[in-house]
Amino acid sequence: MELTVGTIYDGKVTRITKFGAFVALPGGKSGMVHISEIANTYVEDIKQFLTEGQEVKVKLIAIDEQGRINLSIKKALPEKRPERPQRPRQAVPAPVRSTLQKTSDLSFEDKLKHFMQASESRISDSRAFGEKRSSRRRGR
């Protein structure tokens, strides 16, 4: 049987060492799973994750110049996609909603003029609020 890099095989753990585990593959060949390729977490003791005779799924990651077969258990695991937290939808505030409804029948130029006035008003309010805060701090 010809082994192909990138293929996932079913194997059986035949021997465990400090640095990895040897796995028997189909066709009478065997390869090694390095300790760093056993799990997605830190592995201090391989025996916490594997036992001799255990059936495992391994991915063939490389065959070096000397014919040694390098395997990975963690790359054979299905990928877990990180879940994105769902943000709650924010409702449009009533004053903005009413403004949007009022401007729906206006021309583009009128809408732009309305937007600029509202924007300038918000900026001036923001500046005034900032000046009040900074003047209080100076007085201390």
Per-residue pLDDT of the chain (140 residues; tens, 9 = 90+): 688 889 999 999 999 999 999 999 988 899 999 999 999 889 899 999 999 999 999 999 999 999 899 999 999 887 766 667 776 766 656 565 555 556 567 788 888 888 888 888 888 888 777 766 665 555 55
> In this structure, are residues 35 and 74 in contact, taking their beta carbons and an 8 Å threshold?
no
Write the burial class of residue 20 (CB in 10 Å: 0-12 exposed, 13-18 middle, 19+ buried): buried
How much of the chain exceeds pLDDT 90, in percent? 42
